[in-house]
């Protein structure tokens, strides 16, 4: 969780912080630090998602510009009904006895 910091190092850091800031301000500082770390993580996650989305958009642009396949919007029209042929069912049995 803390990288290369072990339990003894964390205890030393806590004792030093307790001596420097005092027992009254330490919880307040802890909350502030926790909120700051949470906001930093949220900002880095948002940045990562934005970069991944932009890379994906660029890849899609390159794929559509290099291929000869028309985009789906040009192939399928939602204004025209699809003429489907009826499918004959063969999954039922023919010798059904009615009692």
| 61 occurs within a structural domain | yes
Q: Which residue in 39, 18, 40, 15 sits closest to 29, CA to CA?
A: 18
In this predicted structure, what is the pLDDT of residue 12? 92
| 85 occurs within a structural domain | no
Range of the domain at 25: 7-68
At residue 95 the predicted structure's pLDDT band, cuts being 50, 70 and 90, is: low
Q: CA-CA distance, 60 to 24, in Å (whole number)?
A: 56
pLDDT (mean) for 63-81: 61
Asked whether 28 and 35 are in contact (CB, 8 A), the reply is no
Distances (CA, A) of 13 to 7, 9, 30, 55, 95: 10, 6, 13, 41, 83
| 80 occurs within a structural domain | no
In this predicted structure, what is the pLDDT of residue 62? 87
Domain count, the chain: 1
| 96 occurs within a structural domain | no
| 19 occurs within a structural domain | yes
When mean pLDDT is compared across 5-14, 34-43, 58-67, 68-77, the lowest value belongs to 68-77
| 2 occurs within a structural domain | no
Q: Which residue in 11, 35, 33 sits closest to 19, CA to CA?
A: 11
């Amino acid at each position: 969780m803390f990288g290369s910091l072990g339990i003894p190092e964390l205890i030393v850091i806590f004792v030093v912080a307790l001596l420097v800031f005092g027992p009254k301000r330490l919880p307040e500082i802890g909350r502030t630090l926790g909120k700051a770390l949470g906001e930093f993580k949220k900002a880095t996650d948002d940045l990562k998602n934005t970069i991944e989305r932009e890379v994906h958009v660029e890849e899609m642009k390159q794929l559509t510009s290099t291929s000869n396949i028309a985009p789906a919007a040009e192939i399928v029209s939602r204004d025209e009904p699809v003429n489907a042929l009826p499918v004959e069912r063969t999954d039922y049995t023919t010798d059904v006895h009615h009692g």
